[in-house]
Amino acid sequence: MDTLRFITCGSVDDGKSTLIGRLLYETKLIFEDQLEALKADSKKFGTQGERLDFALLVDGLQAEREQGITIDVAYRFFATPRRRFIVADTPGHEQYTRNMATGASTAQAAVLLIDARKGVLVQNKRHSRIVSMLGIRHVALAVNKMDLVDWSQLVFDEIEIVYRRFAQDLGFETITAIPLSALEGHNVVDPRHAAMPWYRGQSFLQWLETVPTEGREAAQPFAMPAQWVNRPNLDFRGFSGRVGSGSVKPGDSVRISPSGVTSRVKEIVVGTGSIAEAAAGQSVTLVLEDEVDASRGDVIAAASNPVESADQFEADLLWMSEHALLPGRPYAALIHSKSASVSVTHIKHRLDVNTGAHLAAKTLGLNEIGTVNVSFDRSVPFASYAQNKRLGAFIVIDKLTNETVGAAIIHFALRRAVNVHWQALEVTKVVRAEMKHQRARCLWFTGLSGSGKSTIANLLEKRLHADGKHTYILDGDNVRHGLNRDLGFTEADRVENIRRVAEVAKLLVDAGLVVLVAFISPFRAERQLARGLFEDGEFVEVFVDTPLEECERRDVKGLYAKARRGELKNFTGIDSDYEPPEAPEIHLRTIAGKPEACVDQIVHLLRS
């Protein structure tokens, strides 16, 4: 028997859990004589890549409580004589859309519940677009609570027409509309009911038993991301993971991406034994004939069809955080077990979940979907999501909170990702700095407006100039007259402001200069982005620590007064947060000392 993984989704109180409970209850009654045999067989359905070993339990949540497991999606397992099933029962609340996406990411079919009294809602449309985005092509439109609309064919037909009109561009191969009452059990298992003589279609269970389960991965060339390097002793070294597509046998020639190293498969190990062939979906350990250099996240693929690598992509992104996406901000990414840093370089458009229209957007909010360009800090092996779900998807993680904030699927690599290469230069940064008899550095001054950043930076530059050093100042106000004149003061614009300045500072340090950057730079993530552009020891964070009250007292530009009157929006310290550095190289407390004393402190550190 094959196994169907499906997801139930819909709006709040549409009856998802009731439907699954009824289905589990009735299938248990019908096939109770098979339970013991199925229980003994149930361990086969747990795989290393899953968050939960599935057991044959009517109440999946009971298993979670007994095993002390906390998960975002309730998974349940059941079987009939025709097929085995794994169902992801996901919450309908809008704030838990991320959980719904988690369940849909491994499903082969989707059950979209609609309350017959309410019709097609926005949440139904949002879930449908996510289901489509994640590559599910078979949908059951389960119109529930038909008993509350007097089993009306007119109501059912109207819902089906509205939904099919909405879903015509979503790429579903089949949409099967089924009227039912989950509470009373009508049309859940038994397709016959006197109250709906007008319906001659399948019951819900019959649809589950007949919906296609074939995945596109089986027909693709072999590829397997390495989850970890298995080396229990000096005599054994294998690469463990789940086969993402195709099949592999001992003797097959393989290529490792991104390194490009080739070898042959010596043995395929499962548990304590070997097998003659592994196919898509199986968790195995591959032993190669050669000692190749590969690590977690690298992809082992057929040598005749190697997996591409790139660092820039177009992707669809579902944003899952209450804190909006900020283009240019560095986030962590996990793509088939490989960790990297990623940032959104451009939002092409945001998707209207109601109409499918492409809307202009500078950011993405909670549960919004957009098409974006992304840039990784390294080359990663990939395939388009349309070809391979395992290799074409990644999650986005906030570096500071470790919260999963987005899920993305890759369309294709951007052409510039493979056409643009570093040009080797013979005159290096070290040579340029030695010619100036100095060490190139970036001193990054951060603090509130009015804290004294520019004053201290100016005095420091005069001191360094007197010592014969070659310097340059990048001041926040000055840069906004030219390079960043197109940017405002929204959070997204502030991120881009710092990104541009950090790149310019990197070029000036490469020229051998001592660069003084005086920017409020209120967010730790952007200061961390700037630091990451430089080599160890080149970036010196200088925290000009002045209390807000003192900055307001100085208020030489009158900005705080305007912000207090509401004339300046997004002003740091008033209606926009400042995140102080946690471990700056230099901490200047300006209340306790004059600017000249602060300069002495910096010079002393530089000389030491």
Structure tokens given for 58 = 């009517």
> Torsions phi, psi of 493, nearest 5?
-65, -35
- Give the residue-averaged pLDDT of 455-461: 93
Range from 63-72, 160-169, 561-570, 580-589 carrying the lowest mean pLDDT = 63-72
Nearest to 177 by CA among 148, 191, 156: 156
**pLDDT of 315:** 93
pLDDT digits (tens, 9 = 90+) for 155-205: 999 999 999 999 998 889 999 999 999 888 889 887 766 788 899 899 999
Strand partners, 539: 442
Under 8 Å between Cβ of 203 and 191: yes
pLDDT digits (tens, 9 = 90+) for 301-346: 999 888 888 889 999 998 988 889 988 888 988 888 888 899 999 9
pTM (2 decimals)? 0.69
Q: Residue 170 and residue 431: Cα distance in Å, rounded? A: 57
Nearest to 561 by CA among 574, 545, 546, 579: 574
Range from 78-92, 353-367, 385-399, 546-560 carrying the lowest mean pLDDT = 78-92
Q: How confident is the model at residue 59 (pLDDT cuts 50, 70, 90)?
A: very low
**pLDDT of 204:** 92
152: Cβ contacts below 8 Å, ≥ 6 apart: 116, 146
Nearest to 329 by CA among 487, 483, 449, 493: 493
**pLDDT of 33:** 46
Asked if residue 270 has pLDDT above 50, the reply is: yes
Enumerate the H helices of 188-243 as residue ranges. Answer: 204-210
Starting from the edge strand earliest in sequence, which strands make up the sheet with 441-446, in order? 471-475, 514-518, 441-446, 539-545, 586-589
pLDDT digits (tens, 9 = 90+) for 290-302: 888 888 889 999 9
Q: Residue 186 and residue 203: Cα distance in Å, rounded? A: 9
434: Cβ contacts below 8 Å, ≥ 6 apart: 512
Domains identified in the chain and CATH numbers = 3-214 (3.40.50.300), 217-302 (2.40.30.10), 309-414 (2.40.30.10), 429-607 (3.40.50.300)
Q: Which residue has the higher pLDDT, 62 or 29?
A: 29
Asked if residue 61 has pLDDT above 70, the reply is: no
Other C-beta atoms within 10 Å of 116: how many?
Answer: 24
Q: Residue 181 and residue 15: Cα distance in Å, rounded? A: 9
Active site residues: 521
Structure tokens given for 557 = 């530009």
In Å, how far are 172, 220, 273, 308 from 305, measured between CA atoms? 29, 10, 28, 9
Other C-beta atoms within 10 Å of 69: how many?
Answer: 11
- Give the residue-averaged pLDDT of 39-45: 44
Q: How confident is the model at residue 22 (pLDDT cuts 50, 70, 90)?
A: confident
Range from 139-148, 183-192, 248-257, 302-311 carrying the lowest mean pLDDT = 183-192
What DSSP designation does 405 have?
E
* Ordered DSSP codes for 298-367: -EEEETTSPPEEEEEEEEEEEE--SSPP-TT--EEEEETTEEEEEEEEEEEEEE-TTT--EE--SS--TT
Average predicted confidence (pLDDT) for the chain:
83
Q: Which residue has the higher pLDDT, 21 or 141?
A: 141
> Torsions phi, psi of 106, nearest 5?
-115, 10
Under 8 Å between Cβ of 272 and 237: no
* Ordered DSSP codes for 476-488: HHHHTTTTTTT--
